[in-house]
A and B are shown apart, each in its own frame.
Chain A
Amino acid sequence: MSTATETINSNFKERLGLRQWIGRIFFVIILMATLFGLIMLAFLLADIVIKGHEWVRPELFTNFHSRKPEEAGMKSAIVGSAIVLAVTGAFCIPVGIGAAIYLEEYAPKNWLTNFINININNLAGVPSIVYGMLGLVVFGRMYGIFSPGSWFVTTFNIPVNPGAVGGWIFNLFGIPWLEIHLPFGRSMVAGGLTMGLLILPIIIISAREAIRAVPNSIRLGAFALGATRWQVVNTNVLPIAAPGILTGIILALSRAIGETAPLLIMGAFSYVPFLPDSIWDQFTAMPIQIYNWISFPQADFRIHLAAAGIMVLLAVLLSMNAVATFLRNRFETRW
């Protein structure tokens, strides 16, 4: 017994003072690492506000882009972003919630479900620019099926217009809102759907988390009353999960509103001096307009107007984030 203690004592130096000092130094280092990100955030916001605040004027919201920086605005970009976002939401909110319901409530445990899961995780990691290329080929061009002279057009004798915004215009009842253009071309529909595919994995993942957080006893209670699975989901699970799902949707949409690369690849225009007549029109969006201003040689555009545009974009984003945080904190249920 005593020999064992002696062996330990001879090999083991406690050095507690030194070890605690190392601990204190480490604490300071990781505290600084944590603060670094926040300090950079402060620098970023301060830099933008200092350079841009004098340029956030009414003209920024009421004018189109102009060669004179003091007259230039981002009206068409704001409207474009709003409509693209509406298309994105209309497409990916129902599909995303549907997929989440399937995976959490209906999916059997088999290879297909497993594959769908892996696939969604991988899609969340695909660079946004790749979605832009997908959108360009699938929505923008539709593999050239509807271009003049393609086998499809010649076989079925479809009336198509040549040119950049050409293709097959299909209108069921003569109502402008029901018009369908094929391919989607460089329109807001194409941009919105591309953005929808981009944020779909985010919506699915967050909606699944919200649905999973609903305790199983609620489901079992409803089943015991004879409800079908859809009745359980519709009347019990979804109402409880709704705040969580909504939070995820808002965060995903705020990601979509700031995305630049996919729209750039899709062929969003940098100069659109008119408001769109319909969702099939060409468009620009806030980040595209900002990128365009950043690439100008004149300092007024490159530094000040770009910063003012960024202030507007960040104001929209941060308020969306604030709403999401509020919803999460206000309606979060603890079980």
Chain B
Amino acid sequence: MLSQLLRKQTGVNTQLLTAAQMSNLRQRKSADKLVHSIVFLCAILGIFVTIGIIFSLFSETIGFFARPEVNLWDYFTGTDWRPLASEVKSTNFGVRPLIRGTMMIALISGAIAIPLGLGSAIFLSEYASSKLRKVLKPAIEILAGIPTVVYGYFAISFVTPLLKTFVEETLGGRMGFFNALSAAIVVGIMIIPMVTSISEDAMRSVPRSLREGAYALGATKFEVATKVVVPAALSGIISAFIIAISRAIGETMAVTIAAGATPRMTLNPLDSVQTMTAFIVQVSFGDAPQGTINSQSIFAVGATLFSMTFLMNIISNRILNKFREVYE
């Protein structure tokens, strides 16, 4: 019985083995089984982390909306975010100013990072020699490894003064020290490598035959790059854009430091705004006691943030997987 089972599993005819070899085999099989279950537990830990994130965010969020002072409708439609006001009423908890601040910074930084990242991806994938690529790619990726608090410092110590001089002396406009634009610029710089490396991977996996076909028809290098390679890698490129924007939405320290703490419904990037993440930091750093409406409001905002980025990540993974099916 046992010998048949072992033979089935290992392909070893155990009747030919000595007793010592049998016990050795059993030992090795049981060690393998033990390791199998341990590494399985490691792998499914991630599922528990996801459940933990959803459970911890949403349990506090439900506690927040269960309060008589707030309601879901005003939260999503209200245009005032004054959670620290002395009078606690539902119209003070409208998340739209935070979402607008977040989206403004995410879109401006995307407008900076997407063309630059795509341009450098085309350069690295189509134009650069492999030697040059080996130097340039890690150099660009250093940008992604720099902590976000450093970008925040760079924004207020370098970008903001420069912009302020430019706006106020050349354009004659007015600009606050804390403003959405300089935060968006540094976030844009930060996410360039993300756009570059994902798009470049997508472009490099476009088969060489497509390029050579286009060259054979007399296309120039520019035409091959923009009319053959980019369209063929489009799903990968779009997924890179989505991931980069989602990263910008979740970015915390640079926007907390540089964009200020003024939740407002504005479209002017020279104004100070507050993002969802900056609000969470503001309340956490102020150390709101557990169970108060303030400490619960950060979970409502956190759940909103998580839902947005989660949705974007799922969409981008879907697009990426579809693209993989085509060429691999």
Contact = CB atoms under 8 A, between A and B. Distances in A.
Interface string A136-180: 111001011000000000000000000000000000000000000
Interface string B294-328: 00001100100110011011100100000000000
A44 B154 contact: yes
B172 interface: no
A137 B149 contact: no
B284 A307 contact: no
Interface in A203-262: 204, 226-231, 233, 251, 254-255, 257-261
Contacts of A26: 222, 225-226
B28 A228 contact: yes
Most chain-A CB neighbours within 10 Å: which of B46, B136, B302?
B46
Given A138-B52, A294-B156, A22 B150 contact: no
Contacts of B157: 47, 51, 303, 307
B298 A133 contact: yes
A128 B250 contact: yes
A166 B225 CA distance: 62
Interface in B202-250: 218, 220-223, 225-226, 243, 246-247, 249-250
Interface in B250-292: 250-253, 257, 277, 280-281, 284-285, 287, 290
B145 A201 contact: no
Interface in B46-66: 46-47, 49-50, 52-53, 56-57, 59-60
Nearest to A233: B35
A303 B155 CA distance: 12
Nearest to B193: A37
B306 A116 contact: no
A41 interface: yes
Most chain-B CB neighbours within 10 Å: which of A29, A36, A115?
A36
Nearest to B49: A197
A279 interface: no
A320 B59 CA distance: 39
A280 interface: no
A116 B252 contact: no
A308 to B, nearest CB: 11
Interface string B63-85: 00000000000000000000000
Contacts of B225: 26
B142 A321 contact: yes
A19 B317 CA distance: 36
A47 B158 contact: yes
A200 B52 CA distance: 15
B3 to A, nearest CB: 15
A56 interface: no
B317 A122 contact: yes
B252 A20 contact: no
Interface residues of B, number: 93
B19 interface: no
Interface stretch (A3-11, A59-67, A69-77, A309-317): A309-317
A118 B119 contact: no
Mostly helix, strand, loop or mixed at chain A's interface? Answer: helix
B305 A265 contact: no
A126 B246 CA distance: 9
Contacts of B226: 26
Contacts of B56: 133-134, 136-138, 143
A133 B142 contact: no
Interface in A14-49: 14, 16, 19-20, 22-23, 26-27, 29-34, 36-38, 40-41, 43-44, 47-48
A319 interface: no
A79 interface: no
Given A106-B36, A133-B57, A37 B127 contact: no
A98 B43 contact: yes
Interface of A: 14, 16, 19-20, 22-23, 26-27, 29-34, 36-38, 40-41, 43-44, 47-48, 51, 94-99, 101-103, 106-107, 115-116, 118-123, 125-134, 136-138, 141, 143-144, 197, 200-201, 204, 226-231, 233, 251, 254-255, 257-261, 264-265, 267, 270, 287, 290-291, 294-295, 302-303, 306-307, 310, 313-314, 317-318, 321, 325
19 contacts: A19-B223, A20-B220, A22-B222, A32-B119, A37-B116, A38-B136, A43-B158, A48-B150, A98-B43, A101-B39, A102-B42, A106-B39, A121-B317, A122-B317, A133-B299, A204-B46, A258-B147, A261-B277, A314-B150
Interface of B: 10, 12, 28-29, 31-32, 35-36, 38-47, 49-50, 52-53, 56-57, 59-60, 115-120, 122-124, 127, 136, 138-140, 142-143, 145-154, 156-158, 189, 192-193, 196, 218, 220-223, 225-226, 243, 246-247, 249-253, 257, 277, 280-281, 284-285, 287, 290, 298-299, 302, 305-306, 309-310, 312-314, 317
